[in-house]
A and B are shown apart, each in its own frame.
Chain A
Amino acid sequence: MTPTLQLFLIISTALFSIGLLAALSRRHAIFILIGIELMLAAANLNFIAFWRFGPQPQPPTGVLVAIFSIAIAAAEAAVGLALVIAIYRHYRTTNVDQLDQLKG
């Protein structure tokens, strides 16, 4: 079985769907963050796949963008975790069902 673009796209779609499901269904803020990370990983996978099977598959262009993206995702995760800690300190909970201050 040779790796094809479609295979990668299917894997990344599955990965994205798992991440989305996690982000939508879990109640704990940490799990939502993890879901978001999964979706991000799916996007990165797409990126790499399109590069690898695109018209110019030379290193390091596509990889470089993916590395940037991963760095940003790390920073984002740090911000997200900081937010979760701040929210926990404030509301004494990380259950997102109880955090409905964004309404209105």
Chain B
Amino acid sequence: MSSWIVSNLWLIPAVPLAASLVILSLTNSPRSIAAALAIFGQVVALILAIVAFVPTLQTPGFRAVHNFTWFTFGDQALRIGWVLDPLAAAMMVMITLVGLCIFVFSVGYMAGDKNFTRFFAYLSFFSGAMLGVVIANSLLLLFVSWELVGLASYLLIGFWMERPSAAAAAKKAFITTRIGDLGFFLGILWLYHSSGTLLFYDQGRGCLENAGLLVIGASATFIALLIFCGAVGKSGQFPLHVWLPDAMEGPTPVSALIHAATMVAAGVFLVARVYPLFSLGAVNGVTPSLTVVVSVGVVTALMASLIALAQFDIKRILAYSTVSQLGLMMVSLGVGGVAAGIMHLIAHGFFKALLFLGAGSIIHGLHHEQDIRKMGGLRWIMPVTFFTYAIGMMNLSGVPFFFSGGWTKEEILHNTAHWPVSPLPHYLMLAGVILTALYMARQMIYVFFGSKRVVLDAHESPRIMTMSLIILSACSILFALLLTPAWPWLHAYLNGEPARVDFGSLIQPILLLSLALVAGGIAVGWLIYRNASEADPLARAQPGLFRFLENKMWFDEVYEQTVIAFCRMLSRLSDWLDRYFWDGLVRLFAGLGQAFGVLSKGFDDHGINAGVDETTSGTRGFGRLIAAAHSGQIQAYLGAIAIGMLLLLVLYAWLG
């Protein structure tokens, strides 16, 4: 069983991809068939993922690979393959489970959309591509799936392509991630150049195994940083985070999928996957590349939490919270807490999907109203959404004990506390915890508490949507059982150690500290926003700061003025070159050709044609002349013969 699933691991991404193709080829199929196919594909993938999960449970640190030669060029064989290890197995289960909930939710959310079938085809495609990233045992296969994820995100963000803003957001997401992917691709080339293989694990010869790492040596820092560029683009890290909030233009289930299970998770997963490259030659767990990862993560996390404080679009707040949580994960990876980072990624997958689907439910119930200032008092109108959203909010804020997000966040904080380089990330992350609690409290109060500010006949969402919310909130709570320090099962599983039970370590000082910070953040939020009205209290107190944050720290504007302006200048220059220089050259040659054409036409007309005409008319004239001699008079002929004979005679006589 275990060897069967290892060699057939490709089925897990292939099933959703096949479902997507089938749905696309049956464009006129009824909606129910499309949705059923997509959900069926996802269920099959989930079952297969669980089948793959089982062998990794039996042996700690289980790792099995299946490599094969894709094609051979010259004497070099390009080999790809897939790997089954705790990291891949845990990610697969999370992706398929969260994906399934989102798919089911979409049946309700997209019920009125005219492109229902196309939506499900893309969703399936997205999920399949992400599963491909997870199982890849070759950086090349990972990159291919990675780009497929990018394509799927483009298609889904721009799903409502008739809206110019959605089309622009899709383009922005695609191009921004492409900038990071350029670095990623260069990193792949460099890695192949220095190690000669792109396989991660290959019986000791892979680029992540000791022998391979020895060959790579000092260039590992640069390779790791280039690969990190890709992760920065995909995971929305500073400075390439600008696409992620704009990606909110897509339908809400897409946002949930992008922010929870796929796409942004890919970047964090990538860093975790090639972690040996980052940590190669570490002194005390610190390398230059990991320091860069920590710095980027810290900047991203704080910046995004601050921006989230001043947004009014319910989905944008969640988008910035994703950016900041991803920053937190990067920090965790950077300080050496790979397991903690992945745990937070998985926990985040559950509760962020929950939050986004909750937001989707609110938006659906309010007839596509997304401005939190126009909501309020929804807790009685949408009770299921309210309770599940509150659970998601607790998870995101990091309330410990019952919520998975609390445990993972606490573990990350624990890891940052012991970073030898600087204590700064630790304190900044503690500040991030307060900020997260604060903006989530703000959002909760704006949406669910207070009085209804705008009269709308809001309604609770249908059963099919609330069902997903309930399942996801149950998951995010039950998942906490695997995360507690008393029985750190997932941590041990990811690190390949047997888990042990130790109730003594349940309560730690950092836990109390983070509990205090979360409680403080929520309390402050309650105090500030208790009587929130259309005008934000923060905006009244600090209008300048608020405008700075509301406008997303003017990142878009700064990019517009610098990078985009530079690109525009460059393209204008090439346009000019094209138009005047190259085009001039082309025109010159064209003119020469034309002149030559005119010349040869003249020569033809007046030289050759005239010559031929002259010859023919001369021939005809002469012919006419000769024809006149043929009178038909037999005696004339006879006379001519006689004269000719006479002349011959005279000539003969004369010549003697």
A100, B642: Cα distance in complex, Å: 19
**A66 CB, nearest partner CB in chain B, Å:** 22
A10-49 vs B, CB cutoff 8 Å, 1 = contact: the mask equals 0000000000100111000000100000000000000000
| Tally of chain A residues near chain B (CB < 8 A) | 13
In contact, B635 and A100 (Cβ under 8 angstroms): no
Nearest residue, chain A, Cβ from B631: A103
Assuming the contacts A20-B642, A24-B639, asked whether A96 and B630 have C-beta atoms less than 8 A apart, the reply is: no
Does B632 contact A102, Cβ atoms closer than 8 Å? yes
Shortest Cβ distance from residue A81 to the other chain B in the assembled complex, whole angstroms: 16
Closest to B635 in A: A24
CA gap between A99 and B632 in the complex, in Å: 7
Contact between B632 and A103, CB atoms less than 8 A apart: yes
Residues of A within 8 A of B (CB): 20, 23-25, 32, 96-97, 99-104
Are the CB atoms of A24 and B634 closer together than 8 Å?
A: no
The closest CB in chain A to the CB of B639 belongs to A24
Which chain A residues lie closer than 8 Å to B637 at the CB level? 102
A24–B638 touching, CB < 8 Å: yes
Q: B631 contacts A23, CB within 8 Å?
A: no
Instruction: Name the contact of A99 in the complex, choosing from B630, B634, B642 (C-beta under 8 A).
Output: B634
Contact present for B642 and A24 (CB under 8 Å): yes
Residue among B634, B637, B639, B642 having the largest count of chain A Cβ atoms under 10 Å: B634
Leading 7 A-B pairs by shortest Cβ distance? A103-B632, A100-B632, A102-B632, A103-B630, A103-B631, A24-B639, A104-B630
Contacts of B627 in A (CB 8 A): 104
Q: Which residues of A contact B634 (CB under 8 A)?
A: 32, 96, 99, 102
Ordered by A's residue number, 11 sampled pairs between the chains whose C-beta atoms are within 8 Å are A20-B642, A25-B635, A96-B633, A96-B634, A97-B633, A100-B631, A100-B632, A102-B632, A103-B631, A103-B632, A104-B632
Question: In the docked arrangement, what's the CA distance between A23 and B640, Å?
Answer: 12
Chain A neighbourhood of B639, CB < 8 A: 24
Tell me the complex Cα distance, A25–B642, Å: 13
A23 touches B635 (CB 8 A): yes
B642 / chain A contacts, CB cutoff of 8 Å: 20, 24
- Closest A residue to B628 using CB positions: A103
What class of interface size applies to chain B in its complex with A?
10 to 19
- CB within 8 Å of A: which B607-656 residues: 627, 630-635, 637-639, 642
- What 4 additional pairs, Cβ within 8 angstroms, besides A23-B638, A24-B638, A100-B633? A20-B642, A101-B632, A102-B637, A103-B633
Chain A residues near B630: list those with CB within 8 A. 102-104
| Chain B residue with the shortest CB-CB distance to A101 | B632
| Chain B at the A interface: SS class | helix
Min distance, Cβ A37 to any Cβ of chain B, angstroms: 14
Is the Cβ of B633 less than 8 Å from the Cβ of A32?
Answer: no
- Please measure, in the bound complex, the distance between the C-alpha atom of A25 and the C-alpha atom of B627, giving whole angstroms: 23
- The answer for the CA separation of A99 and B627 in the assembled complex, in Å, is 17
Report A86 CB to chain B, min CB distance, Å. 15
- Taken together as a complex, chains A and B put the C-alpha atoms of A101 and B638 apart, in Å, by 15
- Shortest Cβ distance from B627 into A: residue: A104
Nearest-neighbour CB distance to chain A for B653, whole angstroms, equals 14
Q: Which residues of B contact A102 (CB under 8 A)?
A: 630, 632, 634, 637
Docked pose: A32 CA to B634 CA in angstroms? 10
Closest to B633 in A: A100
CA gap between A35 and B627 in the complex, in Å: 28
Kindly state the separation between the CA atoms of A23 and B635 in the bound complex, as whole angstroms: 7
- How far, in whole Å, are A20 and B645 apart by their CA atoms in the complex? 12
Q: Which of B95-142 contact A (CB under 8 A)?
A: none
Residues of A within 8 A of B635 (CB): 23-25, 32, 96
Give the CA-CA distance A89 to B642 in the complex, in Å: 30
Docked complex Cα distance between A100 and B637 (Å)? 11
- How close is A87's CB to chain B, nearest CB, in angstroms? 11
Which residues in B have their C-beta under 8 angstroms from that of A32?
634-635
Residue on B with the closest CB to A100? B632
Bound complex: CA A59 to CA B634 (Å): 39
For A104, list chain B residues within 8 Å (CB): 627, 630, 632
The residue of chain A having its C-beta at the shortest distance from the C-beta of B642 within the complex is A20
Chain B contacts of A101 at CB under 8 A?
632
Q: Which residues of B contact A23 (CB under 8 A)?
A: 635, 638
Chain B residue nearest in CB terms to A21: B642
Cα A104 to Cα B629 with chains together (Å):
8
Shortest Cβ distance from residue B368 to the other chain A in the assembled complex, whole angstroms:
98
Chain B residues whose C-beta falls within 8 Å of the C-beta of A97 in the assembled complex: 633
A97 to B636, CA, bound (A): 10
Question: Contacts of B638 on A, CB cut-off 8 Å?
Answer: 23-24
Bound-complex Cα distance A1 to B55 (A): 153
In angstroms, Cα B637 to Cα A99, docked, is 13
How far does the alpha carbon of A57 sit from the alpha carbon of B635 in the complex, in Å?
38
* B contact residues around A25 at 8 Å (CB): 635
- Report how far A102 CA is from B631 CA in the complex, Å: 8
How many whole Å from B644's CB to the nearest CB in chain A? Answer: 13
Chain B residue at smallest Cβ distance from A103: B632
With a cutoff of 8 Å between Cβ atoms, the chain B residues found around residue A24 in the complex are 635, 638-639, 642
B635 to chain A, nearest CB (A): 6
- Shortest CB–CB separation between residue B23 and chain A, in angstroms? 85
Residue among B627, B633, B637 having the largest count of chain A Cβ atoms under 10 Å: B633
Distance between Cα atoms of A70 and B638 in the complex (Å)? 22
A93 to chain B, nearest CB (A): 13
Inside 8 A of A100's CB, which chain B residues have their CB?
A: 631-633
Separation of A102 and B627 alpha carbons in the complex (Å): 12
* A-contact 0/1 string along B276-312, CB 8 Å cutoff: 0000000000000000000000000000000000000
Report the nearest B residue to A17, measured CB to CB.
B642
B229 to chain A, nearest CB (A): 94
- Cα-based distance from A96 to B633 in the complex (angstroms): 7
- Chain A residues closer than 8 Å to B633, beta-carbon distance: 96-97, 100, 103
B648 nearest CB across to chain A (Å): 15
Q: Which residues of B in the span 63-93 have a Cβ within 8 Å of any Cβ on A?
A: none
Give the chain A neighbours of B631 by CB distance below 8 A. 100, 103
Which residues of B sit under 8 angstroms from A99, Cβ to Cβ?
632, 634
Give Cα distance in the complex from A96 to B637, angstroms.
Answer: 12
**Chain A residue nearest to B629 in the complex (CB):** A103
Docked Cα-Cα span, A25 to B630, in Å, equals 18
Tell me the minimal C-beta distance from B383 to chain A in angstroms: 116
* Most B-side CB within 10 Å, residue of A32, A96, A103: A103
A104 to B626, CA, bound (A): 9
Taking the closest CB of chain A, its distance from the CB of B649, in whole angstroms, is 11
The distance in angstroms between the C-alpha atoms of A93 and B627, with both chains bound, is 26
- A87 to B345 CA separation, bound complex (whole angstroms): 121
Taking the closest CB of chain B, its distance from the CB of A19, in whole angstroms, is 11
Q: How far is the CA of A88 from the CA of B634 in the complex (A)?
A: 16
B630, B635, B639, most chain A CB atoms within 10 A: B635
Residue of B whose beta carbon sits closest to that of A35: B638
Distance between Cα atoms of A25 and B633 in the complex (Å) = 12
Name B630's closest neighbour in chain A (CB-CB).
A103
In the bound complex, residues from chain B placing their C-beta under 8 Å from that of A96 are 633-635
